[in-house]
Structure 1
Amino acid sequence: MALQLEQRVHLNADTEAAATARSATLHFFANAARAGRPVARTTADIALLVVSELVTNAVRHTAGPCSLHLARSEGGVDIDVADTSPDPPVQRPPHVEGVGGWGWILVNHLTQDLAVQPTPDGGKTIHARVTDPE
């Protein structure tokens, strides 16, 4: 079996999607390490948070399934989450009581090359890059 430096996972729109995505991401990191391209602990921690946030939002704010694509590239990890809605994420005021509004702020702060692109089937893909520490 070839070691993967890319991984794609199709996720159901259910309460298990974020946990499944995190598990797949950890498996991806293990494959990258076995291939001699280990992901730094800081990069991995940030990527796991970003994956969890983007997949949770895809499930919470869209009507259909979503997919996760991970790629280990020079200097970082590329994360793409595609869903069925054409609507881009909207930053909303965060609630200091802990009931939401922090996710998109965190994703914007922790990632580089953040972009939202339409998909051919009418949804969107959110791309984020987490760079390795220097």
Structure 2
Amino acid sequence: MGTWDVHPFDNDTAADFANDLDDADVLEREALIRRVLMRAADNKDYLEVPEAEEAVAAAALVAAQYSGTEPVDIPYGPEEPIPHLPADLRSLAVDALDRVLADESELFEFWKESEGGRTWERSIGELRQVLDPAPQTQGDALFEI
């Protein structure tokens, strides 16, 4: 697994996903993002790293449209434009991020045991906040001190 930082596209899997989006017809890009988010959000079993990394990247693309940041400005993200994404993808992206942060998530386990875990958690929290600005009811941190 090639991971070089904590941001959504700072790993090989997400970079490959960005390339897939660039290669897809513009009319297929929303569907590709939706499929990636649904695969993570609907996963009831153990969520593997590749699916989780793609979901985080897809959530970042949705968040970028609602934070005023263009997706092309995301380092290592897609170079081709992403069409306007429908509002329902916001809640799907939140569900996918929540699944990435849940038990039975290999990516969560990876970062939990990593030195950069808190920074990664903060990065995911910032994405989630853009997608769902309502206050969270969970504790402040997922990692124990």
- What's the TM-score once normalised by structure 2's chain length? 0.30
- Relative contact order, CA 8 A, sep 6+: which one is greater? 2
- What's the TM-score once normalised by structure 1's chain length? 0.32
From the two aligned structures, give the one with the greater strand fraction. Answer: 1
